[in-house]
A and B are shown apart, each in its own frame.
Chain A
Amino acid sequence: AQTVTQSQPEMSVQEAETVTLSCTYDTSENNYYLFWYKQPPSRQMILVIRQEAYKQQNATENRFSVNFQKAAKSFSLKISDSQLGDTAMYFCAFGGRGSTLGRLYFGRGTQLTVWP
């Protein structure tokens, strides 16, 4: 079974600073996708960034970037120049392409608070 672990239940950062959220996963599949979703107080699940396992280059989306270490099964999210609107619960998710195609497995989330 696929498992996703987020070891930091809560984190806080000052506005304009950089913060890194950790995620590790366990799978026997070789080809898969990894995602970071954010869930602000509005409850809406919003995709932040995605990474395809066969791509060695780390994905970036504006202030958001990932450090994907396939051998270590690690997928951390770096948020640069943090903004108050980044305050949200962040979920790491694994999506397989083999027998688990169609399922997203989520970590338990990291609550990020950005302070002014």
Chain B
Amino acid sequence: DTAVSQTPKYLVTQMGNDKSIKCEQNLGHDTMYWYKQDSKKFLKIMFSYNNKELIINETVPNRFSPKSPDKAHLNLHINSLELGDSAVYFCASSQVLSGGGYNEQFFGPGTRLTVL
């Protein structure tokens, strides 16, 4: 019973194409995230949604557009792919607690995107 799942796990595509990565969590969490891990393994947050509402939008090109149809799903669509978009993209989820805290973030298995 997978907690946070992502599809696909590997994605190889040509420059200029448009692609999507899907994420689903069955933990009942209300907050979901997208992170990018570059070739040097540095992880940086891109977006966060809480109950389908965008709450974090870091400095990300507007070619990247997240969509949350419901609180269990957060998809990432990327237009006009560039070489520099090659990376591993992780989805994560957590539960914001009353009082302002939150539990730890649970990560999906990652999607390795290669742009040729």
| Chain B positions within 8 Å of A106 at CB level | 42-44
Q: How far is the CA of A52 from the CA of B102 in the complex (A)?
A: 11
Q: Could you count the A-B residue pairs with CB atoms below 8 Å apart for me: how many are there? A: 59
Check A101 against B110 for contact (C-beta < 8 Å). Answer: no
Check A97 against B48 for contact (C-beta < 8 Å). Answer: no
**CB of B31 closer than 8 Å to a CB of A:** yes
**CB of B84 closer than 8 Å to a CB of A:** no
List B26-65 residues whose CB lies under 8 Å from chain A: 31, 33, 40-45, 48, 50, 55-56
Check A102 against B31 for contact (C-beta < 8 Å). Answer: yes
| Chain A positions within 8 Å of B104 at CB level | 33, 35, 47, 50
Check A108 against B109 for contact (C-beta < 8 Å). Answer: no
Q: How far is the CA of A109 from the CA of B39 in the complex (A)?
A: 13
What string of 1s and 0s marks CB contacts (under 8 Å) between A29-70 and chain B?
A: 001010101010011111100101000000000000000000
Check B42 against A108 for contact (C-beta < 8 Å). Answer: yes
Q: How far is the CA of A4 from the CA of B102 in the complex (A)?
A: 19
Check A43 against B45 for contact (C-beta < 8 Å). Answer: no
List A1-46 residues whose CB lies under 8 Å from chain B: 31, 33, 35, 37, 39, 42-46
Check A45 against B107 for contact (C-beta < 8 Å). Answer: yes
13 pairs, CB–CB < 8 Å, chain A vs chain B: A35-B104, A43-B88, A43-B109, A43-B112, A45-B107, A45-B110, A47-B105, A97-B100, A102-B55, A102-B102, A104-B105, A106-B42, A106-B44
Interface residues of B (CB under 8 A from A): 31, 33, 40-45, 48, 50, 55-56, 88, 90, 92, 94, 96, 100-102, 104-107, 109-110, 112
A35-B104, A43-B112 known; 13 other A-B pairs, CB under 8 Å? A33-B104, A37-B107, A42-B109, A44-B107, A45-B107, A89-B41, A95-B105, A97-B101, A102-B31, A102-B56, A104-B43, A109-B41, A109-B42
